[in-house]
Structure 1
Amino acid sequence: MSVVSTGAAPRRSHSARTSGRPRRRRGSAASHAFLVLLTVAFLAPVLWAVLSSLKPPASIITDPLEFDPSTFSLDNYRAMFDDVPIASGFATTAVVLVVKGAITLFFAPLAGFAFAKYRFVGKNLIFGAVLLTLMLPTIVLIVPLLLQMKELGWVNTYQALILPGSVDAFAIFWMRQVIASVPDELLDAARVDGCGEFRIFVRIVVPVIRPGLAGLAVLTVMNIYNDFVWPVVVTTQESMQTLQVVLATLAQNITGNRIGADFATVWGELLAASSIALIPLLVIFILLQRHFINGILAGSVKG
């Protein structure tokens, strides 16, 4: 007597299906609790700095962890604006950020497009040479670049702050990896329709790589905004100093502009300046966080 198999998979019982739900809920709750603790750990120093900037200078030193809202004031901010040229630092940084960022976001995708989608003699050799520059420490390049800026007469100018490093190897590598995931069939179809290469790049490639471009934009803004070593070397005039240089020299500016300024006063104004400097990066990251996450994932799977 033969047994005929129906081919139907045995169904899980209702109790077996429901027993897994509490485990998933507990795992999800544990994950959320861990993420909340991690967020608190990262944001606690920032929150402390912002709240401490509103305290009287003396209490920052004597009671660093005590926060009395009744004593909060903007005195540290007012004194900081009087003692420190932070507005000039913001203005210089804004000019460098806009111009240098625009150069990076225009030329890096073009170079990445060439390396990802074209075949030419020495392509791998040139791309390897570009990647080799990532291994050079910044400190090694400072002296040659400074000598070049001096020969060109660009010391204490926007050209010196903007042009060196405006199209770096990492940006080219990032764009090359992102554009490599764009299907070649899209480009070939556009060529058949009579599109030129630059038009293909603007009309086909750029809309597809928009998440990767947004991710590069966030990284570029952060790198330019936080850059300190090169601006402090190539600028000596106060009017040309970027925000990070102004913040680094804040203590001596306060003590030099105010007779009898003590340690507590310096700390109060330093926290006020640092709190203001945090605002642009926080706003940019909040506005572009979705694109930044998508940009990191862009190009990880080649289509």
Structure 2
Amino acid sequence: MTTRIARPAPVPGRSRALPATIGSQAFLLLLALAFLAPVAWALISAFKPATQIISDPVGLDLTALTLDNYRRMFADVPIGQGFLNTAVVLVAKGAITLFCAPLAAYAFAKYRFPGRDLLFGMVLITLMLPTIVLIIPLLLEMKALGWVNTYQALVLPGAVDAFAIFWMRQVIADVPDELLDAARVDGAGEFGIFTRIVLPVIRPALAGLAVLTVMNIYNDFVWPVVVASSERMATLQVVLSTLAQNITGNRVGADYATVTGELLAAASIALIPLLLVFVALQRHFINGILAGSVKG
């Protein structure tokens, strides 16, 4: 007597799903390489001699690698002052955004008061206004206050961002009202409810907002270049935009190759802080982006 071992029935669609998954991963890998290739080229070329960057852009001679571009860049460009100004603005403006936006969102999401929807709609309308439309009125206001070329002008305008309020409001709206009511019954104050109940729940979304806020402030160029025209108050992005003029102005006979090498060196230095922040907080950033996307 022979015994037949029953084989499991094939799962419908499984054979087709595997090639589709491999194809998707291959496409994403190619897309990632396309995005990373220019960054990798800039980082590597910053260590090449200036003349070699122009004569042989894609070649790489490991024996010719040098730090000359970085030495000349630090001597010609006040990039340290740009980093300092950006750090001050980043800490002050980021703290205001991450403190005020969740509080405003909590009020819009959980309180009922006359004109709430109208006021929230006005906040959303500001998202539709191009930044260029607001520059002239804001600049006139800063001039009237005597804040041109000051940290106040760099920090306060736009510190409470409408997008941050909208995002936090959508996340806080999913917090069960029963948790808040139970805390009120136990005698907790409103600010205590926010800090002890709401904040731990929305922490992933708040971490994602922190990453986006850091990126937006760090990369901001239009407003700083308008309101902080002096070299003493220039942020990093403004310093990078005037690199070529600073290099040619500080060195007689600086050619195109020299300028290119120092530009790549400065861009590489500017990339490091943002890259470190994203690598350190990428898990929180992804969780924050997904926060509130799953209902139930």
TM-score range, shorter chain: over 0.9
Q: Which amino acid aligns with 1:94?
A: A
Match in the other structure for 1:237: 230
Match in the other structure for 1:37: 30
Match in the other structure for 1:167: 160
Match in the other structure for 1:289: 282
Q: What SS class does the counterpart of residue 165 from structure 1 fall into? A: coil
> Aligned pair 1:254/2:247, yes or no?
yes
1:114-150 alpha-carbon deviations (Å, 9 max, x no partner): 0000100000000000101111111111111111111
Q: Distance in 1 between matches of 2:74 and 2:9?
A: 66
Q: Which amino acid aligns with 1:109?
A: P
Alignment of 1:1-303 (within 5 A): 14=7, 16-17=9-10, 22-303=15-296
Unaligned runs of 5+ residues in structure 1 are 1-12
1:7-29 alpha-carbon deviations (Å, 9 max, x no partner): xxxxxx73532786554443332
Q: Distance in 1 between matches of 2:227 and 2:293?
A: 38
Q: Distance in 2 between matches of 1:149 and 1:18?
A: 67
Taking structure 2 as the reference length, the TM-score comes to 0.95
| Deviates further, 201-210 or 25-34 | 25-34
Q: Which amino acid aligns with 2:202?
A: I
Q: Which amino acid aligns with 1:129?
A: M
Q: Which amino acid aligns with 2:192?
A: R
Taking structure 1 as the reference length, the TM-score comes to 0.93
| Contact persistence 1:108–1:171 (CA under 8 A) | yes
CA RMSD of aligned residues (A): 1.4
| Contact persistence 1:93–1:225 (CA under 8 A) | yes
| Contact persistence 1:83–1:257 (CA under 8 A) | yes
Q: Distance in 2 between matches of 1:34 and 1:150?
A: 51
Match in the other structure for 2:3: none
Q: Please report how far the alpha carbon of residue 68 of structure 1 lies from its aligned counterpart in structure 2 after TM superposition.
A: 1.3
1:221-266 alpha-carbon deviations (Å, 9 max, x no partner): 0000000000000012111000000000000000000110000100
Q: Distance in 2 between matches of 1:19 and 1:182?
A: 40
